Amino acid sequence: MTEKEYRKKVNPCYGCGCWDEDMGCTMPAVDKCYACSLEDKRELEFFMAMIPPTVTHQEKQVHVAKGKPVFYEPEELKRARVKLMAYLAKYVPDTPYASGVELVTKWCFPRGRHSDGEYRITKPDTDNLQKLLKDCMTALRFWTDDALVAREITEKFWADVPGIFIRIREL
């Protein structure tokens, strides 16, 4: 038996240092979902080359009809929603995610006078960008409910190649 075969038989974690003969894997659950080579989790990753919309879900409008507030989407927000839905439609999974997921998004805006990869620290706010994106992904059935997004990492950059990078990973 080779050393590799022995290590695999004795330590199913392939030498990561988290295997205990009596307890099995001792890696904390919070680390296991992304660090353990034995975890078989569903993952979807893609990049949509586009100029990302800067209008956000925050920009819904309200008017009063018969004494009650009525919310509506301005035309610019409707166009942004249609654009995102069209780009996202190519990547909809065959089966929607039905358990907790991590959502990583990197919003890459045309860089103009900024350096490629420089963080964008101006509006729109990441939480407002994410709301519209997640609503579109929910409508397209990426997941059964956007409440399943339990871990979220969102970044905004200036970039030579504008677009939105998205990774969804089961927890």
Is 76 in a helix, a strand, or coil? Answer: helix
In a domain, 57, yes or no: yes
User: Looking at the structure, do residues 18 and 51 belong to the same domain, yes or no?
Assistant: no
Into how many domains does the chain fold?
2
Report which residue type is found at 29.
Answer: A
Coil vs helix vs strand at 112: coil
In a domain, 91, yes or no: yes
37 within some domain: no
pTM: 0.74
Q: What's the first-to-final CA gap in the chain, in angstroms?
A: 35
Q: Which domain holds residue 116?
A: 43-170
pLDDT digits (tens, 9 = 90+) for 121-161: 999 999 999 999 999 999 999 999 999 999 999 999 999 99
User: Residues 13-62: pLDDT tens digits?
Assistant: 655 667 676 766 777 665 655 556 555 678 999 999 999 999 876 556 67
Q: Same domain, yes or no, for 76 and 153? A: yes
Q: What is the pLDDT of residue 11?
A: 58
pLDDT level of residue 86 (50, 70, 90 thresholds): very high
Q: Name residue 170's beta-bridge partners.
A: 101
Hunting for tokens 């677009």 — which residue is that? 163
Same-domain status, 49 and 129: yes
**22 and 69 part of one domain:** no
Looking at the structure, tell me whether residues 96 and 19 fall in a common domain. Answer: no
**Sequence-ordered list of residues with C-beta below 8 angstroms from that of 65, at least 6 positions apart, any chain:** none
Q: Tell me, yes or no, whether 34 lies in a domain.
A: no
Whether 120 contacts 126, CB under 8 Å: no
